[in-house]
Structure 1
Amino acid sequence: MSVIETAGLTKRYARVTALDQLDVNVGDGVTGLVGANGAGKSTLIKILLGLVPATSGTATVLGHDVATEGGRIRSLVGYMPEHDCLPADTSASDMVVHLGQMSGLPYAAARERAADVLRHVGLAEERYRPIGGYSTGMKQRAKLAQALVHDPRLVLLDEPTNGLDPSSRNDMLTLVRRVGKEFGIAVLVTSHLLGELEQVSDHVVVLDSGRLLRSSATTDFLYATGSLLVEVQGLPDADRLLGQALVAAGLEARPAEGALIEVDVRDASTPDLVRDLTVDLGLGLVRMQERHHRIEDVFRDGGAGSVQPV
């Protein structure tokens, strides 16, 4: 059974079509929903939760019809909103307990579950502090905790890294991955940052102006480019020396990110030639690997609005 399935899902407002004939099928694991701001990601989540009616088309979540079973869906799903909507004068513990009770947990069970999820998200020592004194990263963790407290079968995470610095962003992505892999909860996570979804998602759904642009396994976006990435060391200008030697040997070579060299694969002997030239120059070969496109490279070539790399 699909976790989420839509058919011809359309949402029109007075002057804009937010979703246009959207056909999506989401399974278990972590699914990334990517699109530029205004692509329809948040509208889709609201419809899936039964909070906003679709103009036409159908959608089911965990086998339940969003048009008629919104209450049942919300009892089975955890939702982490994008925007800061936390009570500043309440502790994370009290907030998560309260929301656990609203989801149907008895008080004792809600307190136990709140303690568990706050520990899992890294707020065990800070759970009794008022949320108003939290950093942005801590607030995002608290929002994730309340989405998990009632042990949902699916969580919808709307821009969970919004406003975070690089270190906090990586921590949040690790948590998202744990939810999907270790906790066994299906995850739909939205982002306009392509590199984030590459790190955590098993499947990627791309929206562009409310339409489905592409839906496929993350690995399908990351294909071999027919080139090698080579890293060498031993001299301050080791990469330049090897690059010159490769070009002199008739290979196409150019600088890549950092101190890497990208070498086009001419035939099956190319890796051996790279290795032999490295040895001849007295350099150390740190790594040599097939280069793969990142998701952002695919969209740089094909286009998807203003979707951004990390």
Structure 2
Amino acid sequence: MSVIRTESLTKRYGSTSVAALDGLTIDVGPGVTGLVGANGAGKSTLIKILLGLLEPTAGDAQVLGHDIRSDGTAIRTVVGYMPEHDCLPPDMRAIDFVVHMARVSGLPPAAARERAADVLRHVGLAEERYRLMGGYSTGMKQRAKLAQALVHDPRLVMLDEPTNGLDPAAREDMLALVRRIGHDFGIPVLVTSHLLGELERISDHVVVLDSGQLLRSEATGSFLADTGVVLVEVIGDRGPDGVDAQTRMGEALAAGGVTCRPRGALIEIQPAAPPGGSDGIPEDREAAALQLDTLRNLVRDAAADLGLGLVRVQPQTGRLEDVFREEVAS
């Protein structure tokens, strides 16, 4: 079931030849979807169009079955939106602000106050809900913005840079909240972030944008699949000729027919394609496991022969940051 669907969505400002969005076609389903892109990639423009706040130049889009051109009010009724920038009135208490947003969304007074208390508790502001938001820390402000996005029990939540400006501990808490919304509460989430490692951990699906165009749209697991590369770390003394442990190990592996190179303090071993493999990566799990076992034995024996300590032999999985960099470069 599609939560968001766009077809050749395009947005140009004025007579400029540069498009903020250029023929974007995506299909977003349930769960947590990460929207990735550098500044100017079109993320905020896409969200504004999906909310019915900005008219596209061309193309179509539906949000929860509502057409963006004709059903903007209906979309905003069923969607919760957390903006990137600070937009909280400093002279209001969080409880009053969230109640107000609930009333704006159509909840009656009693239900609005009950719902506001519930969501403020869920986001961790139960004790601070009666304080003026002008005295909130950045983390507390982000939580208050998240609360107002959830107060009307939306069917979809759009979060624009929810960890912006947070320290590591507060970022972890916010990420846990986002994942809880998408999985425990069952509310689909579209979340943007410049910190790509965050999206690896919380997203079920990733959409990569660059200059308004779609680069990739896949399940997160497809981005993070095993690359076939193996990383080796050894420790030990220098040899009689003064060569360090890493170099000695690399030379021994190369003499054994292994293609390898240094990567910082590690040794990167390139995969050797077994029969039926392509690009050095086996086609099936059994072949991959056999290849890795053979390589581990070779590494173990080489380290033992040299008298080195073997710290780790680790298959390298992809990272979203690496994939994004490679896609944009190509």
TM range (shorter): 0.7 to 0.9
Q: Is the 8 A contact 2:253 2:260 kept in 1?
A: no
Choose the corresponding residue for 2:196, options 177, 194, 197.
194
1:300 paired to 2:325: yes
What's the CA shift for 1:262? 3.3
* In the alignment, structure 1 residue 275 sits paired with structure 2 residue 279: no
The answer on whether the counterparts of 2:99 and 2:112 sit within 8 Å (CA) in structure 1 is: yes
Question: Would you say 1:13 and 2:13 are equivalent positions?
Answer: yes
Q: Secondary structure at the match of 2:25?
A: strand
SS in 1 for 2:26: strand
Q: For 1:151-230, what aligned pairs fall within 5 Å after superposition? A: 151-230=153-232
CA distance in 2, matches of 1:260, 1:187: 38
- Counterpart residue number, 1:288: 313
Q: Relative to 1, partners in 2 of residues 1:286 and 1:176: Cα closer, same or farther, differing over 3 Å?
A: farther
Choose which of 263, 270, 286 in structure 2 pairs with 1:264. Answer: 270
Structure 1 partner of 2:123? 121
Number of the residue aligned with 1:241: 245
The alpha-carbon deviation at position 139 of structure 1 amounts to 0.7
Higher relative contact order, structure no. (Cα contacts within 8 Å, ≥ 6 residues apart): 1
Matched, 1:86 2:88: yes
Which whole-Å CA distance do the structure 1 matches of 2:305 and 2:78 have between them? 63
Write out aligned runs for 1:137-152 (5 A).
137-152=139-154
Q: Distance in 2 between matches of 1:245 and 1:170?
A: 38
TM-superposed CA distance for 1:63, in Å, is 0.5
Structure-1 residue corresponding to 2:27: 25
Q: Tell me: CA distance 1:246–1:83, structure 2 relative to 1, closer, same or farther (3 Å).
A: same
CA positional deviation for 1:246: 4.8
Q: Any idea what SS the aligned residue of 1:215 has?
A: strand
More divergent stretch after superposition (283-292 vs 161-170): 283-292
TM-score where L is the length of structure 1? 0.87
1:206 is displaced (CA, Å) by: 1.4
So what's the TM-score if we normalise by structure 2?
A: 0.82
Q: CA 1:93/1:247 → structure 2, altered by over 3 Å: closer, same or farther?
A: farther
CA RMSD in angstroms comes to: 2.5
Structure 1 residues not aligned, in runs of 5+: 306-310
| Equivalent residue, structure 1, for 2:52 | 50
Percent identity over the alignment is 67
1:161 is paired with a residue whose SS is: coil
Change (3 A) 1:302 1:69: closer
Where structure 2 has 5 or more consecutive residues not aligned to the other structure, the ranges are 239-243, 275-290
Which AA in structure 2 matches 1:45? I
